[in-house]
Amino acid sequence: MAHFIDRRLNSKGKSTVNRQRFIRRYKQQIKKAVSDSISKRSVTDVDTGEQVSIPTRDISEPVFHTGKGGKRNVIHPGNDQFSKGDKIKRPDGGGQGKGAGEGDASDSGEGQDDFVFQISKDEYLDLLFEDLELPNLQENQLDKLVQYKTYRAGYKSDGVPSTLDIVRSLKGSVARRVALTAGKRRKLAELEEELEKLKNDTHEHPIEIAAIEAQIEALKARIAAVPFIDTFDLKFRNFEKRPVPTSKAVMFCLMDVSGSMDQATKDVAKRFYILLYLFLTRTYKNVEVIYIRHHTQAKEVDEHEFFYSQETGGTIVSSALKMMQEIVADRFPSDEWNIYAAQASDGDNWADDSPNCSRILHSQLLPIVRYFAYIEITERQHQSLWREYNKLTQIHSNFAIKHIRSIEDIYPVFRELFDKNVSTQQGAA
Amino acid sequence: MVAKRSSSDGKAPSRRRKARQPLSDGPDWTFDLLEQYESEIDRIATDFKLDIYPNQIEIITAEQMMDAYASVGMPINYTHWSYGKKFIQTEQSYRRGQMGLAYEIVINSDPCISYLMEENTITMQALVMAHACYGHNSFFKGNYLFQTWTDASSIIDYLVFAKNYVTQCEEKYGVSEVESIMDSCHALMNYGVDRYKRPQKISIQEERERQKEREQYLQSQVNDLWRTLPKTKASDKKSRKRFPPEPQENILYFIEKNAPLLEPWQRELVRIVRKVSQYFYPQKQTQVMNEGWACFWHYHILNRLYDEGRVTDKFIMEFLHSHTNVVAQPNYNSPYYSGINPYALGFNMFMDIKRICTNPTKEDKYWHPDIAGSDWLETVHFAMRNFKDESFISQFLSPKLIRDFRFFAIEDDMKESYLKIASIHNEEGYQDVREKLSAQYNLSNLEPNIQVYDVDVRGNRALTLRYVPQNDIPLADSANEVMKHLHRLWGFNVTLEQVDEDNEVKLIAACPNVIESSKNTTVTI
């Protein structure tokens, strides 16, 4: 009688739309919580979702209901001590007696607690990166980001012997031979039949037989003259190259680890790198990260060493740029990889080195990278490096420099760097 | 009662056992096993004369159960942010373990759709099938409130229509526009029912056919109402007739028909919210009966299965464990107390009716002369069909049950500094306790009595509502917020007045908020 249906395999996100509606409605509040969170939470769990809280009063759904006061009669179970007419002290905490309108409590009694809930990683990132766009992606996608992949695309009649398709060629040969000899073979068959008839005849026909035999000979010779294979029969496999946009990206993190960079400054830098990384992973399937740290010499290191090992000494920024250039030339050809770089520094550099840096960037790095961001984390005056870099920003649209003072600045600066407007302007230019 | 039963079973289980092989007691279930149990339950339910809609039983996961929670138990519903909020809340508290999910959800539709959770053991599935697919199902089909107010065969169709219509409106007029209207309607959702009129049943064909026609007609009616606005002098106002002539309790209906500025599609949205709220109207008033009825039958059906030897001892023990938890009533001073458990009250009342029928005492014969000693099956069916919580309690709550529950009534008057015990479970208290418990389930005591009182048709089109308090209980502050929503729907000034016992009328809320300004008497617009 009953009809059983297994619904377990149905999609489970039936409420997703409603959930999105909710998030849409409270976007302002949620967004604020999200941008607060980036400066608060530990850098290592930036890849997970985020707890968001909204004041309950903002999301209440008001209905008419009764308030405190008046006269109420309530029935309770489990009388263990009362008799009619007993007077009891009103319980503390709320004027109305215990359970005065239990049904009301859910409407009014929730207090001012915040409505706290978890948004998923994707929702978190969407909110975080809303209005942001990958710089320069649009205009470069057509020319540089493209790789080619070879596909089979039918047959052609000329080509190199290695692409010769034997089966296809022999099929052509058979077809050609059949086509060229069909008429002759029919004639031959007729002649042979006639010859047979003449030979079996009771009368002798030596002259006719000789004539027919001569014809047969001639036909056979002509059939044999059709070549077994002709250049006309040869078929070669055709290949075609199609463009495939590459989804590979490499991100270079360059950081000054000289004595002047303290751990707090490095943490600021780290957050910036994490934002950039997350940002890139949203567009590219796999993003490689190369860490290059430098003082007077540059070194490629792993993540932990990059952020946490302590070095001392002077600063020569160009060493890191040179190293980056070598690594690009060696491992990341710029026609296959989307190259991004972010350099963080406190602005210190050996004064004579700054023009060097500028020159390397200008002539070698900036032409091949998608985007190069330089952030200076300092509270002091700008020094020679900033001034040199500043000149470069006039020339190269894919080069940007920003000044960060404290952790709170990171997110706004990041937004500014990757603002949609900027990149559309660049795209138009 | 439950505990006693299980211990006596424990003494001589083997004697009851018939020759037949019992069904597997799992604990895991399979679809084959579910079908076997279902057909056994069906056989017994037919014996007990349970008349049901055909069952459609769907197995779902916990996550899908939370989806179902979010859309008020409906398999399909229009999109609204508040359902998203509900879902997030449910998910949060479920994840933190603050709350378990229901074993099932059952929908008053034809065929009757029940959702079973995949996590349930076979015992729980059997319990849930007996409870929902036979208990609730027969209640939906038999009870007069459901027969009057809902049309099980068309609800799913109507919800499909509503969902599509809302989506269309969103595409046409924008999500935010639709959302704001829906928000306002939801705020007034409880005022979308004419309690004392028979409602029209909703039917999908008619809805579709008439919807276009209705749009035009409604708009023309409204236009007519507001078409001519002759200049009138202030003195005329006193003699004019009120509109509406009688106060209207169905505020949403009044808005749908009369709000001056609503577009036709907005009126249709008001109607959708009104119709959906009407569908839930009987459920609010039959919680005790509905759950009691379902518990009564799962208890009887599964015990009968055990008596016949169709289920194992292990099965029946697990069942009794769950059942006892469900129908437990903590006392008022227990930390677990959160009001009267409708399962406990309902189950015990139906059991008590059966007891009065089969084994009446002298007291029962005095209090319930009409049912004492009558056929119990007939009587419980009669009770199920013809009552709602309020009348069910005032008709069938026996002194014995009042004693069993040790009910007592507290009178809580804000004017006094103490609470007073009005009556307890003794001879002079039975009547009073029963009356007050019954009143506790009276919807008009639960929801504030607010009605449309007047519209200034010839003046500034202001809408006036009146709140008539019961026992001096005031309205909560949320009224101000609700008035804002009402203002959005009505489009002109809205005011809410309170009529006190001595017929004194005072303004308690308004939108735009004129209470402040009228006090100062400096700004009057």
Contact B473 A67 (CB under 8 A): yes
Contact B419 A15 (CB under 8 A): no
**Which of A26, A59, A75 to substitute to test the interface with B, most B CBs within 10 Å?**
A75
pLDDT tens track for A93-145: 444 444 433 333 333 333 445 777 777 777 776 776 665 555 544 444 433 45
Task: Report yes or no: B425 and B438 within 8 Å, Cβ to Cβ.
Answer: no
Task: Report yes or no: A181 and A173 within 8 Å, Cβ to Cβ.
Answer: no
The number of C-alpha atoms within 13 Å of A119 and in the hemisphere containing its C-beta is 26
Nearest-by-CA chain B residue for A16: B84
Provide φ and ψ at A211, rounded to 5°: -65, -45
- Placement of tokens 């080509």 in the chain: A159
CA distance B110 to B54: 7
Tell whether domain A166-234 is in CATH 1.20.120: yes
Helix (H) or strand (E) holding B455: strand B450-455
CA distance B119 to B116: 9
For residue B67, which residues of chain A lie inside 8 Å, CB to CB? 12-15
Residue A5: which of B58, B67, B437 has the nearest Cβ? B58
More confident site: A289 or A53:
A289
Tell me which residue of B409, B152, B75 sits closest to A75, measured CA to CA. Answer: B409
The residue count of chain B comes to 525
pLDDT computed for residue B519 by the predictor? 42
The share of chain A scoring above pLDDT 90, in percent, equals: 4
Contact B473 A72 (CB under 8 A): yes
pLDDT tens per residue, chain B (525 residues)?
333 333 333 334 444 444 467 888 878 889 999 999 999 999 999 999 999 999 999 998 888 888 888 777 787 889 888 888 888 888 877 877 766 677 788 988 989 999 988 888 899 999 999 999 999 999 999 999 998 888 888 888 899 999 999 999 999 999 989 999 999 999 999 898 877 766 565 566 666 666 777 677 767 766 666 665 555 555 454 556 788 888 888 999 999 988 888 888 999 999 999 988 888 888 889 999 999 999 999 999 999 999 999 999 999 999 999 999 999 999 998 888 988 999 999 999 999 999 999 999 999 999 999 998 899 999 999 999 999 999 999 999 999 999 999 999 999 888 888 889 999 999 999 999 999 999 999 887 788 889 999 888 888 888 999 998 888 888 888 888 899 899 999 988 899 999 988 888 888 888 887 554 444 333 333
- Placement of tokens 């009369």 in the chain: B258
What is the average pLDDT across A278-304? 79
For residue A78, which residues of chain B lie inside 8 Å, CB to CB? 329-334, 337, 405-406
Q: List domains and CATH numbers for chain B.
A: 2-143+286-325 (no CATH), 328-374+389-440 (no CATH), 447-520 (3.40.1350)
Which amino acid is located at B140 in the chain?
F
Tell me which residue of A50, A177, A73 sits closest to A120, measured CA to CA. Answer: A50
pLDDT computed for residue A49 by the predictor? 66
- Placement of tokens 């010499």 in the chain: A297
Please state which CATH number belongs to domain A244-428: 3.40.50.410
Task: Report yes or no: B379 and B364 within 8 Å, Cβ to Cβ.
Answer: no
pLDDT tens track for A370-412: 888 888 888 777 778 888 888 888 888 788 888 888 767 777 7
Distance (Å) from the alpha carbon of A14 to chain B's nearest alpha carbon: 6
Residue A244 DSSP class = E
Structure confidence at residue A156 as a pLDDT band (50, 70, 90):
confident
User: How many other CB atoms are there within 10 angstroms of residue B286's CB atom?
Assistant: 27
CA distance A52 to B84: 15
Helices (H), B96-203: 122-128, 137-142, 144-149, 155-173, 175-187
Could you tell me if the ipTM is greater than 0.85?
A: no
Nearest-by-CA chain B residue for A119: B88
Burial class (CB in 10 A: 0-12, 13-18, 19+), A383: middle
Cα separation values, B485 from A40, A209, B193, B462, B490, Å: 38, 115, 18, 15, 9
> Phi-psi category of A69—alpha, beta or left, where left has phi over 0 and alpha has psi -120 to 50?
left
**Which of B412, B428, B444 to substitute to test the interface with A, most A CBs within 10 Å?**
B412
Omega cis (within 30) before B369: no
Residue B116 DSSP class = E
Contact A88 B419 (CB under 8 A): yes
Tell me the pairing of strands A248-256 and A236-245: unpaired
Residue A19: which of B58, B87, B473 has the nearest Cβ? B87
Contact A108 B476 (CB under 8 A): yes
Distance (Å) from the alpha carbon of B272 to chain A's nearest alpha carbon: 18
Nearest-by-CA chain B residue for A115: B89
Provide φ and ψ at B180, rounded to 5°: -65, -40
Taking each continuous run of H as one helix and of E as one strand, the counts in chain B are: 25, 9
Q: Which two tokens stand for residue A123?
A: 């929702």
Task: Report yes or no: A4 and B57 within 8 Å, Cβ to Cβ.
Answer: yes
Radius of gyration of chain A (CA): 41
Tell me the pairing of strands A114-119 and A338-345: unpaired
Between A and B, how many CB-CB pairs are < 8 A?
279
Contact A66 B479 (CB under 8 A): no
Q: Is the dihedral of CA A269, A271, A274, A280 positive or negative?
A: negative
CA distance B320 to B315: 9
pLDDT computed for residue B297 by the predictor? 95
Tell me the pairing of strands A248-256 and A286-294: parallel
Domain chopping of chain A, boundaries: 166-234, 244-428
Q: Is residue A342 helix, strand or coil?
A: strand
Nearest-by-CA chain B residue for A6: B59
Taking each continuous run of H as one helix and of E as one strand, the counts in chain A are: 14, 13
User: How many other CB atoms are there within 10 angstroms of residue A39's CB atom?
Assistant: 14
**Which of A18, A21, A119 to substitute to test the interface with B, most B CBs within 10 Å?**
A18
Q: Which two tokens stand for residue B473?
A: 């209980």
Task: Report yes or no: A292 and A253 within 8 Å, Cβ to Cβ.
Answer: yes
CA dihedral of residues A334, A337, A340, A343 (deg, nearest 10): -70
Task: Report yes or no: B323 and B366 within 8 Å, Cβ to Cβ.
Answer: no
Burial class (CB in 10 A: 0-12, 13-18, 19+), A342: buried
Helices (H), B228-327: 236-239, 251-258, 264-285, 287-307, 313-326
Nearest-by-CA chain B residue for A75: B409
- Placement of tokens 């007696």 in the chain: A97
Residue A3: which of B57, B91, B115 has the nearest Cβ? B57
CA distance B184 to A313: 68
For residue B330, which residues of chain A lie inside 8 Å, CB to CB? 78
Cα separation values, B125 from B54, B74, B313, B322, Å: 18, 20, 16, 12
Contact A79 B407 (CB under 8 A): yes
Q: Which two tokens stand for residue B125?
A: 């599935």
- Residues contacting residue B308 through CB under 8 Å, at least 6 positions apart: B18, B20
Residue B475: which of A6, A7, A64 has the nearest Cβ? A64
Task: Report yes or no: B104 and B115 within 8 Å, Cβ to Cβ.
Answer: yes
Contact A1 B39 (CB under 8 A): yes
Residue B482: which of A8, A64, A76 has the nearest Cβ? A64
For residue B407, which residues of chain A lie inside 8 Å, CB to CB? 75-77, 79
DSSP for A277-288, written as a single string: HHHHHTT-SEEE
CA distance B392 to B438: 8
Contact B407 A76 (CB under 8 A): yes
